[in-house]
Structure 1
Amino acid sequence: MSNHPKFTAMASAAIHAAQANMAQNAHLTPVFATSTFTFDSAQQGMDRFKGTEPGYIYSRFGNPTVTVAEELIAALEAFDIFTEDGQPLQLKALLHASGQSAMATLFLSNVVAGDTVLTHYSLYGGTHEFLFDFLPSFGVKAQIVDLHDLALVTSLLQQDPSIKMIHIESPANPSMRCVNIGAICKIAAAYKVKVSVDNTFATPYLQQPFRYGADFVFHSTTKFLNGHGTAIGGVLIGKDLPHMKTKVNKTAKLLGGCANPFDTFLLIQGIKTLELRMKQHCSNALQVAEFLHAHPAVARVNYNGLPVHPDYELSARQMRYPGAVMSFELTAGFDAAVQFIDRLQMCLRAVSVGTVDTLISHPASMTHSGMKKEDREKAGIGDGLIRMSVGLESVEDILADLEQALG
C-alpha cells in the first residue's frame, strides 16, 4: 500500500487508501488480465509456493488488481478504529467472484461437522438456503433464534457448546430489522464464539461492525460497494490475521471462487464515490419511506429510519444513516403487489439492490422464493410485500412513479 497521510474522512480513504504503485505509475489501478505470473528463477517459484517470498503465482491465488480492492475495502471497514493498545486496526480482506462464494468461504473455514450456527429470521434468501439446505449435508446445524433476546442468547451459549458462530444481517433483508452487534459480540466473546456480520445493506460508510467486536464482516460487493450494477462480487474481511491468511485463504483458494480483475476494476471505481452515493441514497430513502408510511394503500413500511420501526433507536446508535433499502406491505395483498409492480414507469423491476437507479422486487416470488412459505411468513415476508432499493434519481420523480403505481 502506498504511503499516505492520515485521512480525516472516509471519502478520502475510498479514493486513496489502496493506490498500489504499479504499471508505470498509472493513475487508475490497471486491469491485470493474466491467469498466471512468471518467475525469475526456479528458486523464486519454489519460494513463492512455500510462502517465504511474497509475490504472485496464479490469479486464483491472488492478482494485483484484486489486491488493491481487498486493501481498499479493509481500509474502509477499519477506518478510524483502534485496538486496545491504541494501534490502528488491521484487517485482511479476501475478494470473491460473488457474495455466495464469500459466504461459502466464511462458513466452510470456520465450522465443521457437529457445529451449530446461530442466526435470526429475515435473512437474504441465498443465506437462508445455504445455512438450512446446504450446510446440514456437511453435518453443520443452523438454528434461528430471536437475537434481540440477549438473555436467551446467553442461555443457549451456556447450554450448547456446539454453537461456534453467530451470523447476523443488520439491517436484515427484507425486514430491515437490526441486531445489537456490540451486545451480541460481547456475549459471544465470553464463550469463544465467533460473530460474522453481513454488512451489505449498510456498507462501511454507514456501519462498521468491527467497531463493535465482530470477528468477520461479509459483503456482496455487487450491491452498494460497486454501486452501478456492473459486476458481481463478494468479500470476506476478518481481524484474526493469521487465521485469515491460512485457513480462510486456503479454503477460498480450494473453493475456487476467485474474483476476476475486470469486475474488480469496476468495483474499485464504484467504491471511490461510496460516501457521496450513500448520503443521497439515504436522503431519498427517508423521504420515500415517509411517503409510503402515510399512503392508504400501504399496510406497513419496514424501514429502520422511521420511528415506528422496532429497531429505530438501535439503528440510530450503531449506524450513521438508516440506509437505502426498505420493504412495504400492500393492504390488498398479492394481486395488488403484482399490479403495483406492473404499473411502474421509471423505477425498475429487478432483484438486486444498491445501484444508482431505483429497483423494486417481490421477495415472496423472487429473492426468497426458495424458502418454504411458513419460513417466509415467520420472517415477515408476506405475499403482498414489496422490497425497494431507493436510487439516486430525483426524489420527486421517484415519489411520482410510486404514487401513480399505487393507484
Structure 2
Amino acid sequence: MEKDKYFAFDTKAIHGGYNGRNPDNALNPPIFQTSTFTFESIEHADDVMNFKSSDYVYTRGNNPTLRLFENRMSCLEEGAGAVAFSSGMAAISSVLFSLLKPNDNIILHRTLYGSTFSVAKNLLPKYGIQSKIIDLRNLDLLKESIDDNTKVIYFETPCNPNLEIIDIKGVCSIAKNKNIKVVVDNTFASPYFQRPLTLGADVVVHSATKYICGHGDVVGGVAISKDLDYINYLKFEYMCEFGGVLSPFNAWLLLRGLKTLGVRMRQHEKNAISVAKFLKNHKKVKSVYYPGFEDNEGYKIAKDQMYGFGGMVSFEVQGGLEVAKKIVNSLKLIKISVSLGDCETLIEIPSMITHRGYPGDKLLDYGFSKDLIRISVGLEDEADIIYDLKNALDKI
C-alpha cells in the first residue's frame, strides 16, 4: 500500500504492507495452506527461480500469507523487508549465523533471554565464534571491548528479565564507525513502543510468539532490516537452508494478532504501571524494576527512544528465594508460565525457569538475582491483578 508511511500505527497494523484485494472480496486474507505452487510453463518456472517473477515456488521459500505478514512487520518496524521464522530462536540464531563466521566475535549485553545466552556461550564457540558478554549500558566499556574481529553487537532493550535499558543510538554510533552490525531484540517493547531501525540498528528480531501474537497460540519469529539485499540473503541462504519456516496458518494468526497490537499494548502498559506502583508501595517488596519510574536508572534513555514503557514488571521481595516461591505459588488468577505478552497475566522466577542456563552462583554479575520475580502484566482488570498479588503478599 503506497500510503503506508502516512498512516498511524494502528492503521498500519490492520492495513499495512498490502497492495491488492483479497479473493472474492473477502475482508480477511485467506490462508494459503499449500506446500507447493505450480507454473504455467518451464519458462515461467525459470523466471521465478531467477527472481524475475515474484511468484511462488515452495512455502519453505515463501508463501502469500507469509509474505503479507513479513510486509506488515516491515511496515510497522519501518524496515525494507522482513523474514518470518518458525520461532524467535530460529530468527535469532539464523541472524547471528548470517552475520558471523569462524574467528569473528560478537559482543552481547550481560542480560539476555536464557536460550539466547546459551547460543552465545555454548553454540557459537563450537563454530569458532567467540562471545564477549559485557554491560552495554557502559559505552566506554563497549569501546574498549571492540577489536578487529568484532562483527556484531547484540542486545535486548528492555532486557529480559531485569528490564535494563540500552542506549540504541549510543551503541549504533560506536558500531557504525567500526563497520559492526547491531542487532536488537525488540520483543519486550514491540514495534508499538520502540523501533530500533529508526535509531540506527541494522537488524531487529522478535519472538512473535509474544506481543505480536498476543494470544498464546502461536510460536513464531521474525527479523526485519532496512537492507533489502540482506533480507534476501537471510531468507534464501539461511532461513530456507536451515528450514526454520513459519507455517501459513501461524502467519495468518500473527496477522490477526497484529490488528489489535496497539490497543493491547496501551492496556498492557496501563495495567503494568498500576501493578508496578502497587508493588513499589508494598512494605514487603524490596525492589521494583520498571523503566517508567523516574528513579529507574534507564528512565531518561527509555523516555527518549521509546513511545511507552511496556507491560513487563520485575520485582524482589523481602526474604529471598523461598519467600518468592511462596508468593508465586499462592497466586490464583495469575498463572505461572515461561512466556509473556499474552492477554493473561503470567509470572515466573527466571533463575528457576527461563534463565536457568545462567550460572547460579554468578547471577548478580549478569544483572539479576536468583529471587527476581518477572510479571507479564495481562489485560484483565487491573484491580483483579493487584488483588491477587496482594493476597499472595499477605501470606508472607
Q: TM-score, normalised to structure 1's length?
A: 0.94
Matched-pair contact (CA < 8 Å) for 1:106–1:248: no
Q: 1:139 aligns with which of 128, 132, 139?
A: 128
Shift of 1:3: 4.6
Matched-pair contact (CA < 8 Å) for 2:187–2:205: yes
Q: 2:206 aligns with which of 200, 219, 225?
A: 219
Matched-pair contact (CA < 8 Å) for 2:110–2:136: no
Shift of 1:241: 1.2
Shift of 1:332: 1.0
SS of residue paired to 1:296: coil
Letter in 1 for 2:64: P
In structure 2, how many angstroms separate the alpha carbons of the residues matched to 1:339 and 1:171? 27
Moved more, 163-172 or 330-339: 330-339
Letter in 2 for 1:11: D
Q: Does structure 1 residue 18 correspond to structure 2 residue 43?
A: no
Q: 2:156 aligns with which of 169, 181, 186?
A: 169
Letter in 2 for 1:204: P
Counterpart position of 1:315? 302
Shift of 1:174: 0.5
CA RMSD of aligned residues (A): 1.4
Taking the TM superposition and a 5 Å limit, the aligned residue runs for 1:354-369 are 354-369=341-356
Q: 1:179 aligns with which of 151, 162, 166?
A: 166
Matched-pair contact (CA < 8 Å) for 2:95–2:234: no
In structure 1, how many angstroms separate the alpha carbons of the residues matched to 2:102 and 2:312? 35
SS of residue paired to 1:251: helix
Counterpart position of 2:106? 117
Provide Cα deviations, 1:15-61, integer angstroms capped at 9, x if missing partner: 11133434333211111110110111111112212222221000000
SS of residue paired to 1:104: helix
SS of residue paired to 2:155: strand
Moved more, 23-32 or 106-115: 23-32
Q: 1:256 aligns with which of 233, 243, 253?
A: 243
In structure 1, how many angstroms separate the alpha carbons of the residues matched to 2:213 and 2:31? 16
In structure 2, how many angstroms separate the alpha carbons of the residues matched to 1:345 and 1:247? 44
In structure 2, how many angstroms separate the alpha carbons of the residues matched to 1:6 and 1:170? 25
SS of residue paired to 1:253: helix
**Unaligned regions of 5+ residues in structure 1, if any?**
79-89
In structure 2, how many angstroms separate the alpha carbons of the residues matched to 1:47 and 1:358? 50
Counterpart position of 1:63? 63
In structure 2, how many angstroms separate the alpha carbons of the residues matched to 1:330 and 1:339? 11
Letter in 1 for 2:123: F
SS of residue paired to 2:23: coil
Provide Cα deviations, 1:231-284, integer angstroms capped at 9, x if missing partner: 010001111211221255321100100000111111101101111111111011
Mark the CA change 1:107 to 1:248 in structure 2 (over 3 Å): closer, same or farther. farther
Taking the TM superposition and a 5 Å limit, the aligned residue runs for 1:367-406 are 367-406=354-393
Mark the CA change 1:360 to 1:247 in structure 2 (over 3 Å): closer, same or farther. closer
In structure 1, how many angstroms separate the alpha carbons of the residues matched to 2:172 and 2:3? 32
Q: 1:293 aligns with which of 275, 280, 296?
A: 280
Mark the CA change 1:125 to 1:5 in structure 2 (over 3 Å): closer, same or farther. closer
Q: Does structure 1 residue 36 correspond to structure 2 residue 58?
A: no
In structure 1, how many angstroms separate the alpha carbons of the residues matched to 2:361 and 2:238? 34
Matched-pair contact (CA < 8 Å) for 1:360–1:389: yes
In structure 2, how many angstroms separate the alpha carbons of the residues matched to 1:287 and 1:337? 20
Moved more, 303-312 or 253-262: 303-312
Counterpart position of 1:127? 116
Shift of 1:378: 1.7
In structure 2, how many angstroms separate the alpha carbons of the residues matched to 1:191 and 1:399? 48
Matched-pair contact (CA < 8 Å) for 2:61–2:235: no
SS of residue paired to 2:24: coil
In structure 2, how many angstroms separate the alpha carbons of the residues matched to 1:5 and 1:178? 30
In structure 2, how many angstroms separate the alpha carbons of the residues matched to 1:192 and 1:403? 50
SS of residue paired to 1:31: coil
Shift of 1:341: 1.2
Counterpart position of 1:156? 145
In structure 2, how many angstroms separate the alpha carbons of the residues matched to 1:15 and 1:246? 28
